Amino acid sequence: MKETIFSLEDSHFKSGFLETVINSSIVSCADTMGIITYVNHNFEKIIGYTKDELIGKSHHIIKSDYHPPEFWESMKQTIKSGNSWRGDVCNRSKDGSLYWLDCFINPYFNEDSELKGYLCICNDISVLKNYEEKLKRIKANHEAADEIKQEEELISINKRLVETRILALSNFMNPHFIFNVLTAIQYYILQNDAKNAVKYFSVFSKLLRSTIDSTVFNYESVSQTIRMVEQYVQLESLRLENRFTLEVFVEPGLAIEGIELPSLLVLAFVENAIVHGLYNKEGNGIIKLSFKRHNKKLLIEIEDDGVGRKVAAERKWLNHSIHASSGRGLTQERLKLLKLEREITLEIIDLENNGIAAGTLVKLGIKI
């Protein structure tokens, strides 16, 4: 049987989970023939059609003719074969204007593994496409080569910053993580432990909302960072049977509401500490997160007492190697881009105890 979160559709938290996704994304469903069976308010808002005008129609009603036929044929073949598809799609709204979506289409199945329909979850990326159009106009209208080059570099950097922020969200909120969290919550439901089921689903809903909000803004406050880290650690600790804890230290008097950090940056290092440092450690572990101010810089430390980077690299854990590797590369690229507009330092220290690996310490310095 194919693995899908819709196998949990009889669970008590179904309505809450779907509400979270529906409120934060552009969502639609279609049957196996491509006929629209559901759209949420965000879909109506961006397309300009009402739900009554869309239900029962095919997606041709919003087709822009921007993409060649082979584009759609490739997408159809992919999802009809039971595989997920992701790509940038240009559609036309009711008033004739074009808009762009980053679309993730996932087939879902009934209990007999028969294809039931398609779920499409999208994010509006029209801003990114507008950057590209602006770049084209600059090239067409400016005669000075140096000015064109400077504008091109600036737009390219801003465009890539937005892209890496969205990719950071996609890398963090990947389907594997979501499914594991829901499965852990389902365990409490099956054990008739409604208190913990509601508790952890509430945490998951808040974390999902927070991370999606992070795609809108380049920066988040220290307090927002701490809150997201605490929510994420709660969920991972649940999944890993409470084998590690989190300690947070904030220097007294630090303005955690006023100081801003790059969105999802600290969370990426915390995730890495869990996946690489604590996941396969024997016994209990701990993550220490601290925020201090020194010489107009915010100093952030993320310390874990896991197995260390060398041991993690040697083991090459199959369950995490691809996801974790792409996550590290994405974080490094974000840091490189962020350094062009803000002074940021990074130091990673391998901790040892009598010559034996004792964890990892990450030191971030951000000018404020």
Q: Is residue 26 classed as helix, strand or coil in its secondary structure? A: strand
CATH at 91: 3.30.450.20
pLDDT band at 4 (very low <50, low <70, confident <90, very high): very low
Give yes or no: residues 64 and 198 share one domain: no
Give yes or no: residues 77 and 191 share one domain: no
The answer to the question of residue 137 being in a domain is: no
Locate 327 and state its tokens.
């996550």
Give yes or no: residues 288 and 234 share one domain: yes
R_g (Cα) of the chain, nearest Å: 23
Give yes or no: residues 114 and 219 share one domain: no
| Inter-CA distances, 352 with 107, 142, 364, Å | 47, 57, 20
CB neighbours (10 Å) of residue 216?
A: 11
Top-confidence residue, 337 or 296: 296
Q: Last residue of a domain, which of 76, 103, 124?
A: 124
Handedness of CA 67, 29, 126, 223 (dihedral sign): negative
pLDDT attached to residue 299: 96
Q: Is the pLDDT of residue 363 over 90?
A: yes
Give yes or no: residues 112 and 182 share one domain: no
pLDDT attached to residue 246: 94
Give yes or no: residues 189 and 236 share one domain: yes
Nearest one of 250, 246, 201 to 223, comparing CA atoms: 250
Query: Among 138-152, 222-236, 297-311, 338-352, which stretch is predicted with the lowest mean pLDDT?
Result: 138-152
Residues above pLDDT 90, as percent of the chain = 26
Give yes or no: residues 79 and 211 share one domain: no
pLDDT tens-place string over residues 179-208:
777 777 777 788 888 888 888 888 888 887
pLDDT tens-place string over residues 151-183:
666 666 666 656 555 555 555 555 556 777 777
| Mean pLDDT over the full length of the chain | 79
Give yes or no: residues 164 and 56 share one domain: no
pLDDT tens-place string over residues 234-260:
888 877 778 889 999 999 999 999 898
For residue 114, the enclosing domain spans 5-124
Q: Is the pLDDT of residue 88 over 70?
A: yes
Q: Whose structure tokens read 């397309």?
A: 47
Locate 273 and state its tokens.
């500490």
Nearest one of 76, 81, 86, 33 to 58, comparing CA atoms: 33
Give yes or no: residues 207 and 78 share one domain: no
The answer to the question of residue 67 being in a domain is: yes
Q: Where are the alpha helices (DSSP H) in 193-320?
A: 194-213, 222-239, 265-272, 309-315
The answer to the question of residue 237 being in a domain is: yes
Q: Last residue of a domain, which of 109, 124, 139?
A: 124
* Rounded CA separation 280/11 (Å): 30
pLDDT attached to residue 56: 93
The three-state (H, E, C) secondary structure of 104-133, written as one string: EEEEEECCCCCEEEEEEEEEECHHHHHHHH
**Which helix (H) or strand (E) is 101 found in, with range?**
strand 98-109
pLDDT attached to residue 147: 62
Q: Is residue 289 classed as helix, strand or coil in its secondary structure? A: strand
Our count of domains for the chain comes to: 2
Give yes or no: residues 263 and 217 share one domain: yes
CATH at 243: 3.30.565.10
pLDDT attached to residue 9: 45
Q: Which residues contact 221 (CB under 8 A, 6 or more apart)?
A: 256, 257, 258, 259, 260, 261
What's the gap between Cα 307 and its chain centre? 26
Give yes or no: residues 191 and 108 share one domain: no
- Greatest C-alpha distance within the chain: 71
The answer to the question of residue 49 being in a domain is: yes
Q: Is the pLDDT of residue 298 over 90?
A: yes
* Rounded CA separation 266/290 (Å): 11
What's the gap between Cα 82 and its chain centre? 23
* Rounded CA separation 355/93 (Å): 63
Query: Among 73-82, 124-133, 270-279, which stretch is predicted with the lowest mean pLDDT?
Result: 124-133
Give yes or no: residues 167 and 251 share one domain: yes
Its pTM stands at: 0.56
* Rounded CA separation 240/238 (Å): 5
The answer to the question of residue 142 being in a domain is: no
CB neighbours (10 Å) of residue 199?
A: 15
pLDDT attached to residue 161: 58
Q: Is the pLDDT of residue 317 over 70?
A: no
* Rounded CA separation 40/21 (Å): 10
* Rounded CA separation 343/27 (Å): 39
* Rounded CA separation 286/243 (Å): 8
